Amino acid sequence: MTSSNRQFKDSLYEQLARIGKALASPIRLELLDVLSQGPRTVESIANEVNQSVANTSQHLQILRSARVIESERNGVNIIYRLADQEVLGLCGVLRRVGEARLLEVRQVTEAFLRERGALERTDNETLLERVRRGEVTVLDVRPSDEFLAGHIPGAISVPLSELEQKMADLPPDREIVAYCRGPLCVMSIEAVNRLNEKGYQATRWEEGVADWVARGFAIQTGTV
């Protein structure tokens, strides 16, 4: 290998390693997961991850220096968001690689779901195709601001906190598929339990928007 080729590769991988270093923190990975649901203020993010605003801000600056998130000022607030959909896809890919390669990830996930009575898995790929073909009613049970930031095309925004009031508007003779933030989010688990108790045929799609993007599918923004 010539010296110019070696210099090129050294420089290239040094820059790519900036992203790897930025991701090498449990807190920063969780911050990316939070931001995969939509833009947030540092105060909102800190509250979500149970960290101080100062500590959260420091971690956000590391992610920002690696160019995986961006920020902009809105009045007195600074709003953080993922840099683009490539980063959104990276969040989903990283989790799936962990589930496939690390036994510890599967053990933690199974314990979490078992505790909530949701260990039984559905045929996710078949369910995904039915969602894409519009054969089911898709409910996004996340808060409405997360729905507005990006959702599965055709999904209906029914935040979990509003499910009881809006349940009567759902078609009783059509299968319902509920999703939220991803496999370790309990909102869709709770939504499916409530719907089934009321006689609806409801199923949980365990993935979220980041997984949808990682599969190469487009998302919609706006319109509750």
Give the pLDDT mean for 152-169.
94
The two tokens of residue 43 are 């105060």
- Residue 130's pLDDT is what? 85
Cα atoms in the Cβ-side hemisphere of radius 13 Å centred on 74: 10
* Cβ-contact 209, 88 below 8 angstroms: yes
Give the pLDDT mean for 91-95.
87
Residue 163, pLDDT above cutoff 80: yes
Contacts of 133 (CB under 8 A, 6+ apart): none
Give the pLDDT mean for 95-113.
88
Which of these, 28, 38, 30, 19, lies nearest to 209 by C-alpha position? 38
The two tokens of residue 97 are 């690689």
Which of these, 81, 102, 115, 112, lies nearest to 182 by C-alpha position? 112
Q: What is the DSSP letter of 121?
A: P
In words, the CATH class of domain 3-83 is mainly alpha
Helix 26-35 crosses helix 42-49 at what angle (to 10 degrees)? 120
**Which phi and psi (to 5°) does residue 22 adopt?**
-65, -30
- Residue 199's pLDDT is what? 93
| Every domain range in the chain assigned CATH 3.40.250.10 | 87-214
- State the fold for domain 87-214: Oxidized Rhodanese; domain 1 (3.40.250)
Percent of the chain with pLDDT over 70: 96
Which residues are the active-site residues?
180
pTM of the model: 0.83
Residue 141, pLDDT above cutoff 90: yes
Average pLDDT, the chain: 90
- Residue 91's pLDDT is what? 87
Which of these, 21, 52, 38, lies nearest to 210 by C-alpha position? 38
| Every domain range in the chain assigned CATH 1.10.10.10 | 3-83
If phi > 0 it is left, if psi is from -120 to 50 it is alpha, else beta; for residue 106 that is: alpha
User: What are the Cα distances from residue 102, in Å, to 40, 134, 142?
Assistant: 30, 34, 28
Residue 118, pLDDT above cutoff 70: no
Percent of the chain with pLDDT over 90: 64
Q: In whole angstroms, give the CA distance from residue 224 to residue 222.
A: 6
Give the pLDDT mean for 193-212.
91
